[in-house]
Each structure stands twice: as structure tokens, then as C-alpha cells.
């Protein structure tokens, strides 16, 4: 991967979209504002129930670089992402979630970094985490060098999957997101590790990606499925497998073994309907979202009112 980068190299941008009418305009405007002009935006509305598709179509009617691949039924983020990835024509491929936005020079700066590091497979940047209104909560300080990024995994992931730019050769070698993670999450972490392992990932120090989050919405989503709560641990398990053996259940096609692992890990949550609420409550409370933690802990107790420890923990949260 040492070929000279063309001054007009095409960058494909992948953007699944679902029920994000409040944010999609800012997301699209941030792509249109890019200082690097040679891009295509591949976007798919995933059968939204709001005005997301109509907004996207309005932009596409005015901008030929926006390519539409809408879903007639809801496929979920992962399958939609993979579908768009298969359609990408660019020498470089990057991503943006439909409720996030990019710095105007994001494409330009990442391409310049590839010119300086022609052997790398992927390059990301620091990011700003924002609240739902777009107010910055903090800016990341990620590791920059490939060796450090790789060595810190799987305890620390110094990248945001949507913030990476990758070479086309990387996608050909690694493929897309593995469907084991469908509707769970953490698919980008497993994918990113495989890229770092084979090709290397680096970061530029600039804050180029703006990641919007709603902690209440995230918390409520986590409480809908033990698999969502455990997805990070699944990714870590497969990564550690790779470190020990050179492969893992997913790469080896041992899907039955992977599903058996999932069933075993999720069994305690299915046996105890309050356990998931309890764990999410504790995480959010000690992250500083105390009111949300109290609400979730109260729900944990309501689901298992005979477990007095959950009532005591809720009273502790109220006093703290």
C-alpha cells in the first residue's frame, strides 16, 4: 500500500440513517462543507418512521455526489452499513453516522495523513463528544501511533469506528462488520482490531469528528437486551482469542460456538429480570448521570421487589 495518492482520489462516505430528522440536516451539511471535493456519499434511510427519508431525498435532488440506497424494510445499522460498503467506489472509504457531523477539513486532513504514512491501512482523529443539542461535553485525547493503539486493545480502543478512513485494499482483505454483532453494537471495535492487527491504525491529533450522544436514550437501549450490554465484552473475548491463537470463533466460521458463548453469558440476565437495569444504573450513576442511575435502579428493584439489596442501593443513590 505504497502507491502515490491521486490528487483527485475518490473518497466514499458511508451513512446509514434511521429516525434522525432532527440531526440529518447538520450531518449532510457537514459533508457538503468539506474542503476536499472528490467524494461520494452513499446513504440509506433504513425505513424511518419520521421525515428522515424526505430530507435526504431533497438534498440528493440537488447534489449528484449523494447516492441513494434506501431500504424498504428496516435492516438495522450493521446490515445497512455493510450494504453501503459493498457499493463504495472510492480508493478511500470513510463513515459518518447520521446524527453526527464532521469538521469541514476532515477528509482533507485524513488524506494528507495517508500521504505521509503510505503504509497504513486506516487513519482516524480525535473526536468531540456532544450532548443531544450539540454542546461539547469533552474532547478525546487518543493515542496517535499505530503501535500504541494496537497494544492498548482490547482494554482501550483509541478510535471511533465512524471516524476512521480506510484504504479500499483494507476492506477487500478484512471485509465489513461481522453479523454476529447485528443489533448488538461494538462491531466497529472487533473490525478496528482486525485492521490494526493486519495494516495498522493511526490518529491525527485534530478533533475532526463530532459524536452526538443522548445518555438517557443509550441507557434505555442497553436495558432492552443483555446482548447490547455485553457486546463490548464479546468484542474483547474475540480479540483476546486472536491474541492467543491467531484466530477467533468468528473468523474460523465457528458461529455455533460463538452463539453458545452468547447464550451462556446472557443466561443470568434472563433468569433475573432486574439484573440488566441494575448494571446499567450503576454505570450511569458513577459516570455522573446520577438522576438517570436512580431511575434505572428503582426499575431494577421494581422488577425484583423481593431483592432488598436493590432497594438499599436505590436509597443509597438517593442520598449520594
Q: pLDDT, tens digit, for every residue of 229-264?
A: 999 999 999 999 999 999 999 999 999 999 999 999
Specify if 235 maps to a domain.
no
Same-domain status, 171 and 290: no
Specify if 59 maps to a domain.
yes
Same-domain status, 180 and 72: yes
| 3-class secondary structure, 125 | strand
Specify if 234 maps to a domain.
no
Same-domain status, 94 and 209: yes
Three cell numbers at 49?
418512521
Give the per-residue pLDDT at 230. Answer: 97
Same-domain status, 199 and 306: no
Specify if 95 maps to a domain.
yes
Q: Which candidate, 163, 91, 92, 154, places its Cα nearest to that of 127?
A: 163
Given 196, 213, 230, which residue is the final one in a domain?
A: 213
What distances in angstroms separate CA 301 from CA 90, 140, 209, 270, one per listed residue? 52, 35, 39, 16
Given 213, 237, 260, which residue is the final one in a domain?
A: 213
Same-domain status, 25 and 145: yes
Q: Which candidate, 129, 97, 125, places its Cα nearest to that of 111?
A: 125
Specify if 263 maps to a domain.
yes
**SS3 track for 162-194:** HHCEEEHHHHHHHCCCCHHHCCCCCHHHHHHHH
Residues of the chain with pLDDT under 50: none
Please report, for the domain that includes residue 172, its CATH number.
3.90.550.10
Same-domain status, 69 and 191: yes
Same-domain status, 146 and 52: yes
Given 213, 238, 257, which residue is the final one in a domain?
A: 213
Three cell numbers at 293?
442511575
* 132 neighbors 99 (Cβ within 8 angstroms): no
Same-domain status, 112 and 199: yes
Quote the Cα angle for 206-212-216, to 5°: 145
Q: How far apart are CA 101 and CA 279, in angstroms?
A: 31
Give the per-residue pLDDT at 214. Answer: 80
| H helices present in the chain, as ranges | 24-32, 52-62, 77-87, 106-116, 146-152, 168-174, 187-198, 215-222, 226-245, 255-271, 275-286, 290-303, 308-319
* 201 neighbors 121 (Cβ within 8 angstroms): yes
Residue 183 domain boundaries: 11-213
Q: How far apart are CA 60 and CA 122, in angstroms?
A: 28
Specify if 158 maps to a domain.
yes
Our count of domains for the chain comes to 2
Specify if 89 maps to a domain.
yes
Q: Which candidate, 99, 93, 42, places its Cα nearest to that of 65?
A: 42
Q: How far apart are CA 9 and CA 115, in angstroms?
A: 12
Same-domain status, 45 and 117: yes
HSE-CB for 1 with a 13 A CA cutoff: 22
Same-domain status, 198 and 314: no
Cell 451513512, residue located: 15
Same-domain status, 163 and 294: no
Specify if 129 maps to a domain.
yes
What distances in angstroms separate CA 123 from CA 140, 144, 158, one per listed residue? 15, 9, 11
pTM, rounded to two decimals: 0.94
Three cell numbers at 63?
447534489
Same-domain status, 182 and 298: no
Residue 40 CB: number of other CB atoms within 10 A? Answer: 18
Amino acid at each position: 500500500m505504497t502507491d502515490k495518492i491521486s490528487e483527485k482520489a475518490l473518497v466514499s462516505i458511508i451513512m446509514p440513517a434511521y429516525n434522525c430528522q432532527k440531526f440529518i440536516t447538520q450531518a449532510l451539511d457537514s459533508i457538503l462543507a468539506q474542503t476536499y471535493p472528490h467524494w461520494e456519499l452513499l446513504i440509506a434511510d433504513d425505513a424511518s418512521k419520521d421525515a428522515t427519508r424526505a430530507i435526504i431525498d431533497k438534498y440528493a435532488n440537488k447534489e449528484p455526489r449523494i447516492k441513494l440506497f434506501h431500504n424498504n424494510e428496516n435492516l438495522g445499522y450493521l446490515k445497512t452499513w455493510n450494504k453501503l460498503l459493498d457499493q463504495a467506489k472510492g480508493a478511500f472509504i470513510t463513515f459518518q453516522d447520521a446524527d453526527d457531523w464532521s469538521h469541514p477539513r476532515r477528509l482533507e486532513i485524513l488524506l494528507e495523513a495517508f500521504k505521509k504514512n503510505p503504509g497504513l491501512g486506516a487513519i482516524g482523529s480525535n473526536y468531540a463528544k456532544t450532548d443531544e443539542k450539540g454542546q461539547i461535553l469533552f474532547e478525546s485525547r487518543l493515542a496517535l501511533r499505530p503501535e500504541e493503539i494496537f497494544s492498548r486493545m482490547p482494554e482501550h480502543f483509541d478510535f471511533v469506528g465512524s471516524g476512521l478512513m480506510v484504504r479500499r485494499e483494507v476492506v477487500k482483505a478484512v471485509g465489513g462488520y461481522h453479523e454476529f454483532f447485528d443489533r448488538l453494537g461494538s462491531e466497529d471495535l472487533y473490525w478496528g482490531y482486525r485492521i490494526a492487527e493486519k495494516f495498522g491504525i493511526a490518529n491525527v491529533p485534530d478533533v475532526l469528528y463530532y459524536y452526538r450522544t443522548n445518555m438517557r436514550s443509550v441507557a434505555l437501549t442497553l436495558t432492552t437486551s443483555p446482548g447490547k450490554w455485553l457486546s463490548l465484552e464479546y468484542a474483547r473475548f474475540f480479540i483476546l482469542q486472536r491474541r492467543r491463537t491467531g484466530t477467533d470463533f468468528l473468523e474460523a466460521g465457528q458461529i455455533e460456538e460463538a452463539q453458545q458463548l452468547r447464550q451462556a453469558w446472557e443466561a443470568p440476565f434472563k433468569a433475573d429480570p432486574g439484573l440488566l437495569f441494575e448494571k446499567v444504573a450503576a454505570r450511569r450513576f458513577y459516570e455522573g448521570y446520577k438522576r438517570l442511575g436512580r431511575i434505572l435502579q428503582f426499575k431494577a428493584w421494581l422488577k425484583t421487589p423481593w431483592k432488598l439489596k436493590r432497594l438499599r442501593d436505590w436509597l443509597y443513590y438517593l442520598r449520594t
